[in-house]
Every structure is written in structure tokens, then in C-alpha cells.
Amino acid sequence: MQDIRIYSKDYCPYCKAAKILLTNNGFNFEEIDVAKQPARLHEMVSLSGRRTVPQIFFGNGYVGGYDDLVGFFQFEVA
């Protein structure tokens, strides 16, 4: 299984929802809290081009934010 990374902040409701969605679908993931690790924020922005959280990656593939993750799961089910 490919590595899943989610860049997040602990107080972000969309980050919490994304983590619940991943967990409920049986995925393990690495959480990177960009509020606690500011250097990782620069990494996230350079990889995604976005400054908002969550930003989600499956392996080297970029999924996007929470809405994109929901769309991904809806597409997978259909």
C-alpha cells in the first residue's frame, strides 16, 4: 500500500474530517502538523501550491484538500 500523508493543523475541522474519512475507510496515514512544524509548511506549499490545510498525498500523487478527498472516495465507490 502506498504511503498517505496529510498536512494538517490540530484545530482544523476539515483536517479532523479528512482523518476520520481516511480511518473509516481503513487507511493508515502520516499526519504532519504544520502549525507545530513550520518548516513542513514550506514543504507542503512547494508540493501542493496551496497554503490551506488539509493537503493530502497518496504516495507521490496529490489528492488535494478535504473536498477533493471526499470526491476521490465518491469516485472510487461509483
Q: What is the pLDDT of residue 76?
A: 64
pLDDT tens-digit map of 7-18: 999 999 999 999
Q: How far apart are CA 2 and CA 67, in angstroms?
A: 21
| Residue 21 binned pLDDT confidence (cut-offs 50, 70, 90) | very high
pLDDT for residue 1 is more than 60: no
Is the pLDDT at 78 greater than 90? The verdict is no
Domains (ranges, CATH) in the chain?
A: 4-77 (3.40.30.10)
Per-residue model confidence as pLDDT tens digits over 24-77: 999 999 999 999 999 999 999 999 999 999 999 999 899 999 999 999 888 765
Asked whether the beta carbons of 68 and 48 are under 8 A apart, the reply is no
